[in-house]
Amino acid sequence: QPDDRGLIGDVPVLRVTRRGPEAVHFVPAALEPGAEVLLSLDWERRFDHMQQHSGQHLITAIAEQMFGFKTTSWELGRQRSVIELDTPSVTAEQMGALERSVNEKIRERVPVVVRELSADDPEIETVRSRGLPDDHAGPVRVVDIKGVDSNMCCGTHVSNLSDLQVIKLLGTEKGKKNKTNLVFLAGNRVLKSIEQSHSTEKALTSLLKNGPGEHVEAVKRLQSSVKLLQKNNLNLLRDIAVLIARDFKSKPVQSQLFVLHRKEGDSEFMNIIANEIGTEEALLFLTVGDEREAGLFLLAGPVDAVEHLGPRVAELLGGKGAGKRGRFQGKAAKMSRRGEVEALLQEFISHRSP
């Protein structure tokens, strides 16, 4: 269970941890020894942890009683909590029955009682436990859900199951070593989840122009449309690449440097242009993406020239790349420096030309 937060006077508590029998508080400023202070607890955080932890005890106990599923570990997360069950799978029917059963116990308003036993009390042997820490000192704390569960625990808990309000099992995930992770929400987290889901549903209703029951089909239609548009767009880009290359080759006097930037495009677009033009004589510097931000680049041309210039081009563009056989391509973080690359290439050509 995560630690509590709050204030010591007006000094915030950043973290609390245990060292043996002591609770060590981490604070950003020194406190005067012996000073009288008011301790203020972040109750919303504490009560959330109480609901999730007591909810875990209840789910664990009922899952073992109903199906023999033992809990091997659990995690109280910020958004959701997970119980690791020692079973390779949990069916939908089992999960539904488990959810109904734990909520029945909540409606029955079963008391939750905390007891402290001495370390040598024989009753400890009858209490569900994963064992005491090696540095444990003092009495042993036991949390009882009356008639349901008795568990050794140092966490904070509600005093009655009715304080849990409701438990919602969200589903299962494949765990490690042939185990199953059961995901759940308890109490106020269920209400927050419903509120968030309702807000999302309202937003989708407005965007998709239909009711919640039709959202899935509407999204499927949109996905199909997008795939078709992407396919058509790719075909058009290929045609444009061929036309650009043919236009360059059709000129009576071909330049030794060809530079092109296009916001829409990809690596295939640039490589088609390079293939169509041929790179035995001319240097090609092609880029695609946002003119001021990140994108892709391709330098193509004579092998010796590309091997010499490729790493320098990548460095100027703030990116990384690799190449072979007269092609050097990669990602660019600073597309705004394309002008500097062009100047570098022009200078190289001017020194290379007779």
For residue 29, give the 3-state DSSP assignment. Answer: coil
Q: Report if pTM > 0.85.
A: no
What are the tens digits of pLDDT across the range 122-139?
Answer: 888 888 777 777 777 788
The verdict on 314 and 174 lying in the same domain is no
Residue 320: give its domain's CATH number.
3.10.310.40
What are the tens digits of pLDDT across the range 235-269?
Answer: 998 899 899 888 888 888 778 889 999 888 888 99
The verdict on 157 and 54 lying in the same domain is yes
The verdict on 263 and 292 lying in the same domain is yes
The verdict on 178 and 110 lying in the same domain is yes
Asked whether residue 217 is assigned to any structural domain, the reply reads: no
Asked whether residue 202 is assigned to any structural domain, the reply reads: no
pLDDT band of residue 353 (cuts 50, 70, 90) is low
The verdict on 91 and 20 lying in the same domain is no
- Residue 250: per-residue pLDDT: 85
Using alpha carbons, list the distances in angstroms from residue 111 to 43, 59, 98, 107, 123: 21, 15, 20, 11, 20
The verdict on 181 and 280 lying in the same domain is no
Asked whether residue 218 is assigned to any structural domain, the reply reads: no
Count of structural domains, the chain = 3
The verdict on 62 and 37 lying in the same domain is no
Asked whether residue 201 is assigned to any structural domain, the reply reads: no
What are the tens digits of pLDDT across the range 329-343?
Answer: 999 999 999 999 999
The average confidence (pLDDT) of the chain is 92
User: Taking 90 as the threshold, does the pLDDT of residue 13 lie above it?
Assistant: yes
Name the residue among 159, 160, 182 with its Cα closest to residue 170: 182
Q: Name every residue whose Cβ is closer than 8 Å to that of residue 222 and which is 6 or more positions away in sequence.
A: none
What residues make up the domain containing 310? 228-351
The verdict on 35 and 54 lying in the same domain is no
pLDDT band of residue 176 (cuts 50, 70, 90) is very high
What are the tens digits of pLDDT across the range 22-72?
Answer: 899 999 999 999 999 999 999 999 999 999 999 999 999 999 999 999 999
Distance, CA of 268 to CA of 250 (rounded, Å): 22
Task: For the sheet with 39-41, list strands across it.
Answer: 11-13, 6-8, 39-41
Average pLDDT estimate for 90-118: 96
Asked whether residue 338 is assigned to any structural domain, the reply reads: yes
Average pLDDT estimate for 157-170: 98
Average pLDDT estimate for 85-90: 97
Distance, CA of 299 to CA of 321 (rounded, Å): 10
Asked whether residue 346 is assigned to any structural domain, the reply reads: yes
The verdict on 246 and 326 lying in the same domain is yes
